[in-house]
Amino acid sequence: MKVYINPGHDLQYDSGAVHYNADGAIDLKENEVASTIGDKVKEYLEAAGCEVRLLQSDNLCNDSDYPDRPVAVCDDANDWGADVFVSIHCNACAGHDARGTETWCYADGTDGSLLAAKIQAQIVRSIDTTDRGVKVMSGLMVLKHTDMPACLVETAFIDNDSDAELLQSSYDAFARAIARGITDYQQSKMNA
């Protein structure tokens, strides 16, 4: 199986959501968490025999303002012929009291929603995060412009203190759960 991993945001240009420590300084950035988890997911999937491609970039659909980001994530995944696409993120909420994991897909009843459900189940079961469920978000570029089953994983709320601690201490567990969810999806398709 060919798996395309897209850690959210861009290490150089876009931190994504952040967590502030008690002194008001940023101590955790979404782009770095997504990168760390994405690299580990790639390792686990390759060990399981999958072919994996990983790209973290602010250029999702030829929409980057930066000339050093010439490769668009969605085009690259489509051109490579990925079997599945998984984007990895951290969630955030204005009140800082939301917690948990949710996984987004393009539409209900699709292979993308099955992929999302498998990953969601593995994370909730493995890490015991609050289960916020699988949600439809048809307007997201990485779900709308990919040709293969795709989902976007919101691992936990980076702006919530307890979830932020979980992201720091359990990044490997998140990665293992995402990889297992992907291989669970593959197995379910083979058994169908």
- For the stretch 108-144, pLDDT in tens is 999 999 999 999 999 999 998 999 999 999 999 999 9
Confidence of residue 8 (pLDDT cuts 50, 70, 90): very high
CA 24 to chain centre: 27
Confidence of residue 19 (pLDDT cuts 50, 70, 90): very high
pLDDT value of position 139: 95
Mean pLDDT, to the nearest integer, of 139-158? 98
Bridge pairing between strands 84-91 and 2-7: parallel
pLDDT value of position 94: 85
pLDDT value of position 95: 80
Tell which residue, 83, 60, 79, 54, has the closest CA to residue 149. Answer: 83
Residue 22 carries which DSSP code?
T
pLDDT value of position 184: 98
Structure tokens at 156: 């936990």
List alpha helices for the chain, DSSP H. 30-47, 73-80, 111-127, 141-144, 161-169, 171-191
